[in-house]
């Protein structure tokens, strides 16, 4: 039972899940500026509720969240047949080894490391949405985000 | 020896005859009745085995019977013999009146007979034609039967008496009897007596002398030779003694015992006797001193032995004294009364102070003596023990210094088990006590040392424990620090993320157009935020490396593709730098098995550094392989500012840039090379630097072609 709004929508809907308000609103503002519709959630439970309610085209999921963390929320969404198809981009502040693995195991389709500049984030979202168009469904697993944002002295 | 008459007759028939003829010849030529009688009796003794025999002759008519010859009869019996023919009732007188022999069976008789306690025959001496007998022959007998020789002799002597009686006076007969008595006396003397002429020729000898000097006819060859030798010796002795001695000479004479062959030593007493008719005689008496000489010799020998033994004892005593004196420890011998009977020199120094009158010394000597006496009396009361050990407190007599001694006493018992002496040896304990004291001190010191060592050990253990705890605490602190830094950098990044994001949005005119001065300011905010971000990332990297949270993730890859990737990533900077960047692959560089991401990070760092510090010229990246060490070398060479030798170590230190001013224009955190070096270590490699100031630098990363898990 897909909501009719998905197809009726002119612009793709991005659900931004982030507990840190400044960052959430910054990404939301820039995504709207870049031509996306944006919904926001401040924790994992809210993220699941909003996903079921709005059926966004893509979810931008911070992993460190209060009440229910991003991994758990991702795991629930990916184990639910109604939401399983929605791509999820994990957003993590910890570059420590293992986070990427954890995110992939939880079912994330891609992940970016904070700090992530808004335009880099937009580029990644656009890439994933292209991959998830109905005719490109099988290319899903090849999605990778190069960690190009690091600078060395 | 009693022989059977028949056996003798049979056996000696030939010899018998000859002997009888010899005797008859003697009797016929002899005019002395006494000599005849003696010869006859000797003949009987030799041929008829008569042991004792006596010849008594009588004057014609009445008168006493006189003994003229005897054989084997004691001289006492001869002297006591007294019988007259007037005594007609006497059995011997009656026997004389008979013509046949009368047998006496040896039973006790009321009169004395020369042949005592034996059976005997009394045979009258008469010729066939005579009316009365001239005397009696008494011969010992073994039976009633008379030996034929005895009757024959009696007849022969009877005839001789009849023949001689007419010529011989009684006086002569009496003289004969005296002579016979003399003979028997001489014979009774146990010493050999000889009457010789001055040449030593034998005239009369008693039976003992005859044994030495006259060998009987039947004597053995040895006996005869011995007798001849004795004669020679005797003659020689006489002739030499005769020279010096006029009256009486006394000398020793060595003769041979003819029967036993042994030496006999005699003392020879010889004196001369002068006879008007016959000239000079020598009377010699030999006294057997063989036993005397032997005894003397023995006495001398014992005396000599005694002397030797005495000398030995003296030597022994002397040696003992030397030995005892040479012992450094005092030795004393005390008797059962406790009095000192013997002591050596060291003991004398303690218990006797010869030639010293000092009152103190004498007093101390007396005190020492008293102490010793009480010790010895202790020993005496313990008679059961052979050894007794104790300590005595003595004093040095000269100085009065206390002298503790150990005394060891032994008792000497007589053969009867009585205690004779106590031998005491004193041993100076001063040294031993001193040693014991030193030993005690040493032991004390040792114990003290051991205690100190134990204390030190315990302290060390405590400190070790403390250090261990501190180490744990430090590790915990270090872990906490790492955790803190990791958390902190994360917390830093959240606001930084917002700053960068909003700046970015402003610069992208999301909130509307910005003026040029605003844009310039926003650009400054942006670049400083990025620098801060880089710092935070580098600190996070170092923290992760030091926390060991950067494991080796080995894969196989080519160095060439890595060169391409690094160049591609730094493309904007390369372009901006206007430098010629080239890469070279030497021959034989194999595929590497290592942590691709870390190798790439190092190469990015080295290349960006080279670009940053090279104003003009070129940067060359060269890969080569050392097949011996199995090592890959990646050299990044620039023509830049270079690093002075004195600074070449510093560049690898944390937060080090040679020009530390923020406005330096090179940017960077100053942590790049220190991170590279840490990463190279994780990969099992190293980073080397060659540089000349003003001419450029070459950083070389060396890696094992196959990284080992560390």
Residue A121 lies in a domain: no
Residue A149 lies in a domain: no
CATH superfamily of B190-288: PAS domain (3.30.450.20)
Residue B277: what pLDDT?
64
Reported as half-sphere exposure (CB side, CA atoms, 13 A), residue A7 has a value of 5
- B10, B324, B342, B411 from B351: Cα distances, Å: 99, 16, 11, 20
> Sheet holding B202-205: strands in order across?
B202-205, B193-197, B279-288, B263-275, B248-256
Q: Averaged in consecutive runs of 10 residues, what is the pLDDT profile of chain B (710 residues)?
A: 38 66 82 82 85 82 77 78 79 83 82 81 80 83 85 84 67 69 79 80 80 80 85 80 57 83 83 71 82 84 89 85 80 82 83 78 86 82 74 84 86 79 84 88 92 92 89 81 73 83 86 87 86 79 73 84 86 85 87 87 87 86 88 89 79 60 50 83 87 86 78
Contact B501 A97 (CB under 8 A): no
Q: Does B501 touch chain A (CB under 8 A)?
A: yes
Q: Which two tokens stand for residue B340?
A: 């000192």
Among B490, B495, B671, whose Cβ lies nearest the Cβ of A153?
Answer: B671
Rounded CA gap, B33 and B165, in Å?
A: 9
Which is nearest to B676 in space by CA: B569, B601, B624?
B601
Range(s) of the domain holding residue A86: 10-116+128-142
Alpha carbon of A120: minimum distance to chain B alpha carbons (Å): 10
Residue A3 lies in a domain: no
Which is nearest to B115 in space by CA: B126, B103, B98, B133?
B103
* Residues of chain A contacting B508 with CB distance shorter than 8 Å: 30, 33, 118-119
Supply the pTM of this predicted model. Answer: 0.39
In the CATH hierarchy, which fold is given to the domain comprising B5-187? Beta-Lactamase (3.30.450)
Q: Are strands B102-104 and B120-125 parallel, antiparallel or unpaired?
A: antiparallel
Rounded CA gap, B124 and B542, in Å?
A: 177
Query: How many Cβ atoms sit within 10 Å of the Cβ of residue B169?
Result: 10
Contact B504 A94 (CB under 8 A): no
Q: pLDDT per residue over A11-51, tens digit each?
A: 889 999 988 888 898 889 889 888 899 999 988 899 999 99
Among A22, A119, A152, whose Cβ lies nearest the Cβ of B504?
Answer: A119
Rounded CA gap, B115 and B317, in Å?
A: 69
Reported as half-sphere exposure (CB side, CA atoms, 13 A), residue B231 has a value of 19
Residue A69 lies in a domain: yes
Which residue of A lies nearest to B529 if distances are taken between CA atoms?
A: A115
3 state DSSP class of B279: strand
Rounded CA gap, B445 and B455, in Å?
A: 15
Residue A28 lies in a domain: yes
Residue B10: what pLDDT?
38
Give how far the C-alpha of residue B694 lies from the chain's centroid of Cα atoms, to the nearest Å: 96
3 state DSSP class of B497: helix
pLDDT surpasses 50 at A143: no
Burial A96-111 (b: 16+ CB within 10 A, else e): beebbebbeebbbbbb
Please classify residue B538 by burial: count the beta carbons closer than 10 Å to its beta carbon, then call 0-12 exposed, 13-18 middle and 19+ buried: buried
Q: Which two tokens stand for residue A111?
A: 């992940």
Which residues touch B329 (CB under 8 Å, ≥6 apart)? Answer: B346, B425, B426, B427, B428
pLDDT surpasses 70 at A125: yes
Return residues 573-602 of B near A (CB < 8 Å). 601
Which residue of A lies nearest to B505 if distances are taken between CA atoms?
A: A30
Among B498, B671, B672, whose Cβ lies nearest the Cβ of A23?
Answer: B498
**Phi/psi of residue B213, each to 5°?**
-110, -15
Among A19, A28, A115, A147, which would you mutate to test the B interface (most chain B Cβ atoms within 10 Å of its Cβ)? A115
B336-428 against B429-550: fold identical = no
Among B549, B550, B668, whose Cβ lies nearest the Cβ of A153?
Answer: B668
In the CATH hierarchy, which fold is given to the domain comprising B429-550? Helix Hairpins (1.10.287)
Q: Provide the sign of the torsion angle of the four alpha carbons B514, B518, B520, B523, taken in this order.
A: negative
Q: Provide the sign of the torsion angle of the four alpha carbons B582, B587, B590, B591, taken in this order.
A: positive
Reported as half-sphere exposure (CB side, CA atoms, 13 A), residue B155 has a value of 12
Give chain A's domain count.
1
Alpha-carbon dihedral of residues B665, B562, B650, B675, nearest 10 degrees? 100
Q: Which two tokens stand for residue B395?
A: 């004093």
Return residues 552-571 of B near A (CB < 8 Å). 569
Residue B179: what pLDDT?
75
Q: Does A117 touch chain B (CB under 8 A)?
A: yes
Rounded CA gap, A55 and A1, in Å?
A: 11
Q: Which CATH number covers residue A42?
A: 3.40.50.2300
Cβ distance B16 to B121 under 8 Å? no
Alpha carbon of B670: minimum distance to chain A alpha carbons (Å): 7
Q: B552-704, which class in CATH?
A: alpha beta
Cβ distance B286 to B209 under 8 Å? yes
Contact B504 A151 (CB under 8 A): no
- The answer to which of A72-86, A126-140, B588-602, B688-702 has the lowest mean pLDDT is A126-140
Among B482, B496, B497, which would you mutate to test the A interface (most chain A Cβ atoms within 10 Å of its Cβ)? B497
Contact A30 B510 (CB under 8 A): yes
Alpha carbon of A31: minimum distance to chain B alpha carbons (Å): 10
* Run of H or E including B375: helix B359-381
Q: Does A97 touch chain B (CB under 8 A)?
A: yes
The DSSP result for B532-575, as a single string, is HHHHHHHHHHHHHHHTT-----EEEE-HHHHHHHHHHHTHHHHH
Which residue of B lies nearest to A121 if distances are taken between CA atoms?
A: B501
- A98, B585, B590, B700 from B559: Cα distances, Å: 27, 8, 8, 14
Cβ distance B595 to B682 under 8 Å? yes
Which is nearest to A16 in space by CA: A43, A2, A8?
A43
* Residues of chain B contacting A118 with CB distance shorter than 8 Å: 501, 504-505, 508
Which is nearest to B447 in space by CA: B458, B459, B455, B435?
B455
Q: Which residues pair with B274 in a beta bridge?
A: B280
Q: Does B608 touch chain A (CB under 8 A)?
A: yes
**Phi/psi of residue B193, each to 5°?**
-125, 135
Contact B501 A150 (CB under 8 A): no
Instruction: Choose which CATH entry (3.20.20.70, 3.40.50.970, 2.160.10.10, 3.30.450.20) describes domain B336-428.
Output: 3.30.450.20
Which is nearest to B588 in space by CA: B684, B706, B705?
B705
Q: Hey, which bits of B206-349 come out as E strands?
A: 248-256, 263-275, 279-288, 331-335, 340-343
Contact B533 A95 (CB under 8 A): no
Q: Where are the domains of chain B?
A: 5-187, 190-288, 336-428, 429-550, 552-704
**Phi/psi of residue B112, each to 5°?**
-90, 140
**Three-class DSSP labels, chain A:** CCCCHHHHCCCCEEEEECCCHHHHHHHHHHHHHCCCEEEEECCHHHHHHHHHHHCCCEEEEECCCCCCCHHHHHHHHHHCCCCCCCCEEEEECCCCCCHHHHHHHHCCCEEEECCCCHHHHHHHHHHHHHHCCHHHHHHHHHCCCCCCCCCCC
Alpha helices in B82-188 (DSSP H): 91-97, 148-165, 170-188
């Amino acid at each position: 039972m897909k909501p009719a709004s998905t197809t009726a929508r002119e612009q793709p809907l991005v659900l931004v899940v982030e507990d840190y308000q400044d960052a959430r609103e910054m990404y939301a503002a820039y995504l709207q500026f870049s031509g996306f519709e944006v919904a926001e959630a401040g924790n994992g439970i809210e993220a699941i509720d909003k996903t079921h309610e709005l059926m966004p085209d893509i979810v931008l999921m911070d992993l460190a969240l209060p009440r229910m963390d991003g991994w758990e929320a991702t795991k629930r969404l990916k184990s639910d047949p109604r939401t399983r198809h929605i791509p999820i981009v994990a957003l993590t502040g910890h570059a420590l080894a293992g986070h990427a693995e954890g995110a992939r195991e939880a079912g994330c389709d891609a992940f970016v490391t904070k700090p992530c500049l808004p335009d880099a984030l937009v580029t990644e979202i656009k890439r994933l949405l292209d991959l998830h168009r109905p005719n490109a469904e099988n290319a899903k697993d090849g999605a990778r985000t190069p960690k190009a944002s690091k600078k060395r002295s | 020896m009693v022989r059977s008459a028949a056996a003798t007759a049979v056996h000696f028939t030939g010899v018998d005859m000859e002997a009888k003829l010899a005797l008859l010849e003697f009797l016929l030529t002899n005019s002395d009745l006494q000599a005849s009688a003696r010869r006859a009796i000797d003949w009987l003794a030799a041929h008829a085995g008569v042991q004792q025999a006596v010849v008594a002759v009588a004057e014609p008519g009445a008168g006493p019977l006189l003994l003229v010859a005897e054989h084997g009869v004691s001289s006492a019996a001869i002297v006591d013999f007294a019988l007259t023919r007037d005594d007609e009732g006497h059995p011997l007188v009656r026997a004389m009146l008979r013509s046949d022999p009368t047998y006496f069976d040896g039973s006790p008789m009321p009169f004395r007979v020369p042949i005592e306690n034996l059976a005997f025959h009394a045979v009258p001496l008469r010729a066939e034609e005579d009316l009365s007998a001239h005397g009696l022959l008494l011969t010992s007998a073994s039976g009633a039967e008379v030996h034929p020789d005895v009757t024959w002799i009696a007849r022969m002597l009877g005839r001789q008496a009849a023949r001689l009686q007419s010529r011989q006076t009684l006086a002569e007969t009496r003289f004969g009897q005296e002579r016979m008595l003399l003979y028997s006396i001489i014979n009774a003397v146990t010493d050999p007596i000889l009457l010789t002429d001055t040449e030593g020729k034998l005239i009369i000898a008693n039976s003992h002398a005859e044994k030495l000097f006259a060998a009987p006819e039947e004597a053995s060859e040895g006996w005869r030779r011995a007798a001849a030798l004795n004669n020679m010796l005797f003659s020689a002795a006489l002739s030499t003694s005769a020279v010096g001695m006029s009256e009486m000479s006394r000398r020793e004479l060595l003769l041979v015992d003819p029967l036993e062959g042994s030496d006999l030593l005699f003392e020879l007493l010889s004196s001369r006797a002068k006879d008007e008719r016959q000239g000079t005689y020598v009377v010699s008496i030999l006294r057997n001193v063989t036993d005397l000489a032997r005894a003397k010799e023995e006495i001398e020998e014992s005396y000599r032995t005694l002397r030797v033994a005495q000398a030995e004892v003296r030597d022994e005593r002397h040696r003992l004294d030397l030995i005892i004196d040479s012992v450094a420890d005092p030795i004393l011998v005390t008797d059962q009364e406790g009095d000192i009977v013997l002591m050596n020199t060291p003991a004398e120094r303690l218990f006797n102070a010869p030639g010293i009158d000092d009152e103190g010394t004498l007093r101390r000597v007396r005190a020492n003596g008293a102490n010793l006496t009480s010790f010895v009396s202790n020993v005496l009361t313990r008679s059961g023990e052979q050894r007794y050990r104790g300590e005595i407190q003595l004093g040095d007599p000269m100085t009065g210094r206390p002298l503790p001694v150990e005394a060891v006493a032994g008792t000497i018992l007589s053969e009867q088990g009585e205690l004779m002496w106590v031998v005491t040896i004193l041993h100076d304990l001063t040294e031993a006590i001193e040693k014991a004291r030193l030993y005690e001190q040493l032991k004390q010191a040792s114990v003290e040392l051991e205690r100190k060592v134990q204390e030190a050990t315990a302290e060390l253990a405590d400190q070790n424990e403390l250090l261990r705890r501190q180490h744990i605490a430090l590790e915990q602190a270090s872990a906490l620090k790492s955790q803190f830094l990791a958390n902190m950098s994360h917390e830093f990044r959240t606001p930084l993320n917002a700053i960068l994001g909003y700046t970015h949005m402003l610069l992208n005119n999301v909130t509307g157009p910005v003026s040029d001065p605003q844009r310039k300011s926003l650009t400054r905010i942006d670049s400083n935020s990025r620098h801060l971000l880089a710092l935070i990332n580098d600190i996070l990297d170092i923290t992760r490396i030091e926390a060991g949270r950067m494991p080796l993730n080995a894969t196989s890859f080519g160095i060439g593709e890595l060169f391409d990737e690094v160049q591609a990533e730094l493309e904007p900077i390369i372009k901006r730098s206007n430098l010629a960047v080239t890469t070279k692959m030497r021959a034989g560089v194999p595929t590497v098995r290592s942590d691709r991401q870390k190798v790439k990070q190092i190469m990015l760092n080295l290349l960006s550094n080279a670009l940053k510090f090279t104003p003009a010229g070129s940067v060359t990246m060269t890969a080569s392989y050392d097949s011996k060490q199995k090592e890959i070398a990646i050299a990044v060479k620039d023509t830049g500012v270079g690093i002075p030798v004195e600074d070449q170590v510093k560049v690898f230190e944390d937060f080090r840039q040679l020009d530390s001013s923020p406005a330096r224009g090179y940017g960077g955190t100053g942590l790049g090379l220190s991170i590279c070096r840490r990463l190279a270590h994780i990969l099992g490699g190293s980073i080397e630097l060659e540089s000349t100031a003003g001419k450029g630098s070459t950083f070389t990363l060396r890696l094992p072609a196959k990284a080992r898990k560390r």
